Amino acid sequence: MPSTPSKTVSPLITNEVLRLRKAADQRHAEAQYNLGLWYAYAAQDYAAALSCFRTAADQGRAEAQYNLGVMYANGRGVPQDYAVALSWYRKAADQGDASAQCNLGTMFDNGNGVALDDATALSWYRKAADQGHAEAQNNLGLFHEHGRGGLPKDGQEAARLYKLVADQGHAEAQNNLGFLHEHGRGGLPKDDHEAARLYKLAADQGDAWAKEALRRLDSERGALPNDDRETARPNKFTSERNASAKTPLIAEGVFSALKKFMFCPHGVLAGQYTTARETSYGCEECFREQKEIEEEQRRERELLERQQQVERERQERRQIMRELLERQQRINAAAENLQDGERIRLAMTIVPSIKELRKLWRWTRGKS
């Protein structure tokens, strides 16, 4: 059974973990998987994470199967076992999980628990790369650059893949693209300043090869601007600080996507019922209450629309009365200087209503 959250964790996240555990206890695969992420990457309780991942993986959750593979491959919470890791990676990869496909490629690429097999590695890298997996695209670039897996050497295709991934902020791809610029390979012009820029981007993310290349390039050719030379020096404290900052960020990222693992006022796991609205998770009773609220809101909108229509009609009548009054005033002003017969003819041609005509007739008789 997973352990309770550490007392050092913030109360907000602790409450989220408790709710997530309640969902996981109902054998909700997504909740079990995300709880495993919490234990693995935030609390670093690998035994608890392994239990959560295994329960979700047994229900066919591909991401959980992939994470189980990671734990067995790296010996986290269990003895390192490449054979078991390969099995879980393959299960996830067969479901189309790009990360599992990339890691399978890496195992065949490096011979971890299997015989070295560039062709099989290339096959898995391609499947993952076709889904936009950055690490797989970078590894595919390496295969093109060095002509591995039966591929001919193709520096231009390697450069294209490196740039594609480097633009996404991938440190190793930035380092590889910097190397091509430094030596003028892959159809790229030799450009020490562009190489230094790329090396620095990778070095800022902690890439050791890029740091070394940056120091070497600057010492040999002075390619790095003066303002950046101090920041290019390795800083152990900064590196450790950046690494330690990743854990709470991962934890917050996990729980920013877990709002649907709340429980409705009736104690039912949110999103458990298909009758629930997509934007209002809960049980059937919650759905019925939501429909009543929406119906009441609809009636209120209709009443408001009717009131607005009545007001618009009232304003229109007022406008008509003002126009009639102005017309009458113009008639009165024009009739002051006319003879009786001319007044009558003017009234008959201008005044549209019988009632107004009679009133005007009585007025003209009174003036004669």
pLDDT in tens, 286-325: 667 777 878 888 899 999 999 999 999 888 888 888 888 8
CB-facing half-sphere around the CA of 105: CA atoms within 13 A: 27
Provide CB contacts within 8 A for 61, sequence distance 6+.
Answer: 29, 30, 32, 33
Check whether 58 has a pLDDT greater than 80: yes
pLDDT at 319: 86
Question: CA-to-CA distance for 300 and 317, rounded, in angstroms?
Answer: 26
- Domains in the chain, number: 1
- Count of CB atoms within 10 A of residue 134's CB? 20
In a domain, 330, yes or no: yes
**CA dist 286 → 20, 47, 138, 299, 309 (Å):** 20, 37, 48, 20, 35
In a domain, 316, yes or no: yes
In a domain, 346, yes or no: yes
Question: CA-to-CA distance for 186 and 166, rounded, in angstroms?
Answer: 15
Provide CB contacts within 8 A for 364, sequence distance 6+.
Answer: 335, 340, 343, 344, 347
In a domain, 296, yes or no: yes
Mean pLDDT over all residues of the chain?
A: 75
pLDDT at 228: 45
Q: Which residue has the tokens 């709880």?
A: 35
Packing angle between helix 192-203 and helix 171-183, nearest 10 degrees? 160
Give the predicted TM-score (pTM) of the model. Answer: 0.59
pLDDT at 262: 42
pLDDT at 255: 36
Q: Which residue has the tokens 């491959």?
A: 73
Contacts 24+ apart (CB under 8 A), 83-87: 83/113, 85/113, 86/113, 86/114
In a domain, 309, yes or no: yes
DSSP string, 249-306: HHHHHHHHT-GGG-B-TTS-BTT-STTSBTTB---HHHHHHHHHHHHHHHHHHHHHHH
Cβ(206)–Cβ(176) below 8 Å? no
Give the residue-averaged pLDDT of 252-274: 41
Question: CA-to-CA distance for 268 and 285, rounded, in angstroms?
Answer: 10
- Count of CB atoms within 10 A of residue 7's CB? 7
Check whether 269 has a pLDDT greater than 80: no
In a domain, 68, yes or no: no
**Domain containing 355: what range?**
286-367
In a domain, 170, yes or no: no
Give the residue-averaged pLDDT of 16-24: 68
In a domain, 238, yes or no: no
Packing angle between helix 62-74 and helix 98-110, nearest 10 degrees? 30
- Tell me the β-bridge partners of 269: 263
Residue 330: pLDDT band by 50, 70, 90 thresholds?
Answer: confident
